[in-house]
Chains A and B, each alone.
Chain A
Amino acid sequence: MIKYILKRLGLTVLILLGVSLIIYVLIRLMPVDFIEKKIAEMNQGGATIDQATIDNMKAMYGLTDDTFLGVLKGYWSWLTKLVQFDFGTSFKYGIPVIDVIKDSMGISFAVALLATIFEFMIAIPLGITAATHQYSIRDYVVTVLVMIGISLPSFFFGQVLKDLFAMKLGWFPNSGLTDATKDLTGFAKLMDYAWHMFVPVLTVVILSIGGRMRMTRTEMLEVMNSDYIRTARAKGLSERKVIYKHAFRNTLIPLVTSLAGLLPSLFSGAIITEQIFDLPGIGNLAFQAMDAGDIPFIMGYNMFLALLSVMGVLLADLMYAVVDPRVKLTD
């Protein structure tokens, strides 16, 4: 087990090296004068980036030296900073990239966590009914609804919900996270957050419910067709016990595994949803930074995401062994 984890960690380092190399090459392909132009634009827009910062950045990424050796040196200097968790200073926000990520991560995490909880709470029962009543009307209705959910483009569906709930019905605010006109504290402030987050969370839940439900249904069907379910029925157990005690518990294995894999990605933010509802989450900030050409932020954010997804894969694998005693991690 320990050996397996160590080997996987080694692989993780390799993957992150590969990802960092790709990101660095992409950034290096940008002409330097383009970056300078973007910085000038940002300065016009109110940011204060002095020459020293620019030179500092250029030195850090080795932008001044275009020879092969210079590129290598730039990559190395960026990489050494990276392992010390020094992502540089964001041009657009004027504070270290890692602080921008830290500050905005909470909101994205709250939205994603709420959405994931609701997603599992709704999708699992739906998946079970669809599987236990396979080929019935119920199964078809659930399947079709879920398919529509999968096919909805987030940016369109977000706008529709915004139009419906915020504009037409006026039940919820159309954007932002807080009501700027009110000065709220304590519980009232929390409720205000929740009120603002309702429609974004609803959007994410509806969009993601389909995949989870289909997964539950497929797994459940597979389990229901196995021999031990027949044995359980032959023993004369009630259908309820067969489904929830024997079948569902085995369906839980892949579900819990996928939950572990999902954990890191909860922090990564949803670019489109956050943009539509103007939530100050990490996805929205990242999009604006990338739009402005904020190199340090782009590189830092992409590495952050790669780290999260590598961790997700690792966690899912480990979880698999924890949940299912039959699985032994060897190799």
Chain B
Amino acid sequence: MENMENKENITVEENQILPTEQVEENQNGKKEADDSIERNVRLMSPGRMVMRRFFRSKLSIVGLVMLVSLFLFCFLGPVCYTKWESNEIDYSNRVEYATTEIEFVDENGKTQVFYQVIETIKQPNAFAKPSLEHPLGTDGQGWDNLARLMEGGKVSLAISFITVFIITILGIIFGGIAGYFGGAVDNIIMRLCDILMCLPGFPILLVVGTLLESMGIASQFRIYYLMGFLSLISWPGVARLVRGQILSLREQEYMVAAEAMGYSTIRKIFKHLIPNVMPQLIVNMTLSLGSMILYEASLSFLGLGATAEFAAWGTMINSANDLNVLQNYFNVWGPPGICIIIAVLGFNFIGDGLRDALDPKARR
């Protein structure tokens, strides 16, 4: 099978090393010996080939659809659905009227009757069933679930993007320096990586959570600090990837050429080496976006992030720790869980699809 494929792979003109892909069928239906190359072969840029391979996989398309709809839901949703704010308590149908009759005799001897009407707002409209007013019902505090779902999603998605971005930048810088210079610099950076990789991730974040509390940082910002700290300790994975690639790349001939051209070190690292690591980095980033969403949600679930007032997916699921909520109000804790699954699954599908599409050895 494989040999057949290799035989059919025809390289285009002598000097061009452009990737080629065979047109499935000959238009004429018969093969001609001479100029068949021109007709059988279509030139494709590497980018197009990657796109083509990416979209050929059904799973990547499913992942893309899932993520796009989730993004629209979280970022466009609040624009369309303005009935409730995410932290607006619904007091609407819990108004009580208490009427008392007061009778007294005035100085003329007549009996006067007063009616005193007391309007009391007794309780928020908690645990409302899904209805037109609240499509996903309300939770224990009378907050609208749908509005909270969108608000929480916005924060989750934004945070995971920022975190992954910082991790990648730090990883590129440290990994690039370690891989390019080698020797003592490499040794120091790699030992630092070893130390950071042995830090117990979750418990350390719990400590940092307590630390933030002790410093009196407002609860709605804590999750940003926490994820910032997480990115400060999780770059070694990326750094190792970048370093490993650069170690092999720097021995290649085009780097000798770059050396001969007298380029500066910065230019050699960031313009000639890093772009060649990009494919793996992109896959890595996509996959870690999913895990960052999980991290963020777990932290909120444990109550390290914002207080309940500020919506987050993890906090919403946390309410299911109450057995009453767990048993009877799936509409409170179910949707955020499903949203998390959609987000993580979407990133994983796309990451997997990208990995296959960017793999130069891939045959399909």
Interface residues of A (CB under 8 A from B): 11, 14-16, 18-19, 22-23, 26-27, 29-31, 34-35, 135, 140, 143-144, 147-148, 150-157, 159-160, 162-163, 167-168, 174, 268, 271-272, 275-276, 286-287, 290-291, 293, 298, 301-302, 305-306, 309-310, 313
User: Are A156 and B340 within 8 A (Cβ)?
Assistant: yes
Q: Is the CB of B337 within 8 A of A153?
A: yes
- Asked if B210 contacts A30 (CB within 8 A), the reply is yes
Given A151-B344, A155-B301, A159-B317, A298 contacting B326 (CB threshold 8 A): no
Segment 174-211 of B: residues with Cβ below 8 Å from A: 191-192, 194-195, 197-200, 202-204, 206-208, 210-211
Residues of B within 8 A of A (CB): 59, 191-192, 194-195, 197-200, 202-204, 206-208, 210-211, 213-215, 290, 294, 297-298, 301-302, 314, 317-318, 320-321, 323, 326-327, 330, 333, 336-337, 340-341, 344-345, 348-349, 352, 364
A-B contact pairs, 11 of them (CB 8 A): A15-B198, A22-B204, A29-B211, A135-B364, A151-B345, A153-B301, A153-B317, A153-B337, A160-B337, A298-B203, A298-B210
Neighbouring B residues of A27 by C-beta, 8 Å: 207
Q: Known: A151-B290, A156-B317. Is A302-B214 also a contact (CB below 8 A)?
A: no
Q: Please indicate the chain B residues that have their CB under 8 angstroms from the CB of A162 in the complex.
A: 326
Chain B residues near A18: list those with CB within 8 A. 191-192, 194-195
Contact across chains for A287 and B302 when beta carbons are under 8 A apart: yes
Determine the residue in chain B with the shortest Cβ distance to A174. Answer: B323
**B340, A26: Cβ atoms closer than 8 Å:** no
- Measured between beta carbons, the chain A residues less than 8 angstroms from B290 are 151
Distance between B198 CB and nearest chain A CB, rounded to angstroms: 5
Nearest CB on B from A312, distance (A): 9
Using A30-B210, A174-B323, A309-B198 as known contacts, say yes or no to A155 and B297 having CB atoms under 8 A apart.
yes
Measured in the bound complex, the distance between the Cα atoms of B320 and A159 in whole Å is: 7
- B211 to chain A minimum Cβ distance, whole angstroms, is 6
Give A168 to B195 CA distance when docked, in angstroms. 46
From A147, A287, A306, B352 is in contact (CB under 8 Å) with A147
- The residue on A at minimum CB distance from B214 is A34
Judged by DSSP, the binding face of B is helix
Given contacts A144-B59, A272-B298, A305-B200, contact A151 B195 (CB under 8 A): no
**B-chain residues with CB within 8 Å of residue A19 when the two chains form the complex:** 195, 198-199
CB-CB < 8 A to A155: which residues of B?
297-298, 301, 314, 317-318
Chain A residues whose CB sits within 8 angstroms of the CB of B198 once the complex forms: 15-16, 19, 306, 309-310, 313
A61 to B245: give the CA distance in the assembly, Å: 43
The listed residue (A11, A143, A157, A163) touching B194 by CB distance below 8 A is: A11
User: In the assembled complex, which residues on chain B have CB atoms less than 8 Å from the CB atom of A30?
Assistant: 210-211, 214
Contact partners of B340 in chain A: CB under 8 A: 153, 156
In the bound complex, what is the Cα–Cα distance between A223 and B337 (angstroms)? 38
Q: Considering the chains assembled together, what is the distance between the CA atoms of A26 and B202 in angstroms?
A: 14
Inter-subunit contact A153/B294 (CB<8 Å): yes
Task: Say what secondary structure dominates the interface of chain A.
Answer: helix
Q: How far is the CB of A274 from chain B (nearest CB, A)?
A: 12
- Chain B residue nearest to A20 in the complex (CB): B195
Residue among B199, B211, B349 making CB contact with A306, cutoff 8 Å: B199
Instruction: Tell me the nearest residue of chain A to B326, going by C-beta.
Output: A163
Task: List 5 additional contacts besides A15-B198, A19-B195; criterion CB under 8 Å.
Answer: A150-B348, A151-B290, A155-B318, A290-B207, A298-B207
A160 partner residues in chain B, CB cutoff 8 A: 337
Nearest neighbor of B58 in chain A, beta-carbon distance: A140
**Which residue on B lies nearest to A152, using beta carbons?**
B341
Contacts of B314 in A (CB 8 A): 155
Closest 6 CB pairs of A and B: A18-B195, A156-B337, A305-B200, A34-B214, A151-B344, A151-B345
With both chains docked as a complex, state the minimum distance between the C-beta of A89 and any C-beta of chain B, in angstroms. 19
Q: Which of A16, A159, A301, A313 has the most CB of B within 10 A?
A: A159
Q: How far is the CA of A29 from the CA of B210 in the complex (A)?
A: 11
A271-B340 Cα distance, complex, nearest whole Å: 19
A151-B341 in contact (CB<8A): yes
